[in-house]
Amino acid sequence: MVIHVYYGGRGLVDDPTLTVLEKMQAVFEELRVDFKKFNLYEYKNTIPTLPQTLKEADGVILASTVEWYGMGGYLLQFLDACWQFGDKEKIAGIYMMPIVMSRTNGEREVMAELNTAWECLGGKLHAGLCAYVENTIELEMNTKYIAAIEKIAENFYRGVNQKEVTFPSSNQLVKTKLVNPSSIPLSPQESEQLSEFVSDEEYVQKQKEDLQELASMFKGKLRSEDAASEEEYLAPLRKAFHPQAHVAGSFALKIEGKKQDLVIRIAGTTLSVGYGKLEKPDIEMELDRSVMDKIISGRMTFQRAFMSGEMKKMRGDFRIMSGLDQVFVFEEK
């Protein structure tokens, strides 16, 4: 029989979970069980590959210490890797016993979470152990506690060895219901290979660099498009400008799809056009891009767009606005 322990604590000397595992290991060795403990903090860079080790196991112990709130983060990563890369058919035949010791509170909640997670993976459950331990030395010296721990280990051995019947749980349906049928189906071998890629730091770093390069390329493209957008309509306005001594004013055109206003300033023979924000312009106009295109192409005038209602809004002196059609003479296209 093969039993694997996945320990999600930090490996502190006075960790009560390690004390419990040590007592259980002694029992399993007497029963000639192939016992192996994986300290997840030692495998933190290769946790995605650990679900591969489940293929050898008949029983699994998930061990966690509640130091302030919830289970250790490494154990969560391991369970997530089991969901992503684990062989669900193999997991379905593995018995799991949770061991949760607490230095604060919440050990029962964490044990329930471990049970639920393992059932969602499709595995079998066995009664575990959870307790609040204020003093690890008391746990080590109390003969009644030690006897209880040894009894739990023996029961787990007996349950795995005899393949005890476990009743089905609705949590086990999650394995089939949450899997996205539109996703690419992976064989156990492909999942194993993918988990190795995920744990390969050089491979992951190369993928990040490739993504950053793609992101930079798209950002550059967007900046180019934004720059082109900020130049739109400016050249035709400059080309069509025919100054009139009596026409002067400032104009802010809100064009559909533009982040900033098209700002026009006219002072005699001087013309200034660009995109930005103009405080208190003489005329404010709001119009669709299609209407602006008609004006630029000479098929519509500012005044006619306003009079026909194609211009959405206009605020300011109408007489000043009519001067735009005098200073901008567009050739019809």
* Single-letter residue type at 172: Q
The answer to whether 250 and 264 are in contact (CB under 8 A) is yes
* pLDDT tens digit at each of 333 positions of the chain: 999 999 998 888 889 999 999 999 999 999 999 999 999 999 888 888 899 999 989 999 999 999 888 887 899 999 999 988 888 889 999 999 999 999 888 899 999 999 999 999 999 999 999 999 988 888 889 999 999 999 999 999 999 999 988 888 777 666 555 554 444 455 656 555 666 655 566 665 776 777 777 777 766 665 555 445 678 889 999 999 999 888 889 999 999 888 899 999 998 889 999 999 888 899 999 999 999 999 999 999 988 888 888 888 888 877 787 788 889 998 886
Q: Are 186 and 194 in contact (CB under 8 A)?
A: yes
**E-assigned strand segments in the chain:** 2-7, 34-39, 59-66, 95-102, 124-125, 129-132, 248-255, 261-267, 270-276, 283-287, 313-316
> What domains can you pick out in the chain, each with its CATH number?
2-180 (3.40.50.360), 234-327 (3.30.1050.10)
CA distance 123 to 4: 14
Exposure b/e, 131-165, CB count within 10 A at least 16 = b: bebeebeebeeeeebbeebeebbeebbebbeeeee
SS3 label, residue 333? coil
| SS3 at position 233 | coil
